[in-house]
Amino acid sequence: MFTNTTETQTYNGWANRATWNVTLWMQNDEFLYNTAKACVTYCETCDTPYDAFIRCMNNCQREVNGDGFRWDDETINRDEVNEMMKDL
């Protein structure tokens, strides 16, 4: 008998491990948290909060978080991160 099961590719409720990791850092590091909140408030109309956050991290030469994940990693689900940032 063959059972067809669909395996989800999520990680702790997030789209993947990279998305989970960057949101974890943003919510638990005071500097990153305050930067993320400021990016939500002050991002330009043609920008998303996460794009503004990435630009801030690149400007202060913090392209990688404490676990080695790049903020601009292509596998990060930006929609999920933007939603999380709006809830800060």
pLDDT given at position 82:
98
Is residue 1 in some structural domain? no
The verdict on residue 24 lying in a domain is: no
SS3 14: strand
Gyration radius (Cα) of the chain, Å: 15
- pLDDT tens per residue across span 2-60: 444 445 579 999 999 999 999 999 999 999 999 999 999 998 888 999 999 999 999 99
Residue 77 lies in a domain: yes
pTM: 0.87
Q: How many domains does the chain have?
A: 1
Domain that holds residue 44: 30-86
Pairwise CA distance, residues 39 & 55, whole Å: 10
Q: Kindly state whether residue 69 falls inside one of the protein's structural domains.
A: yes
Q: How far apart are CA 35 and CA 57, in angstroms?
A: 9
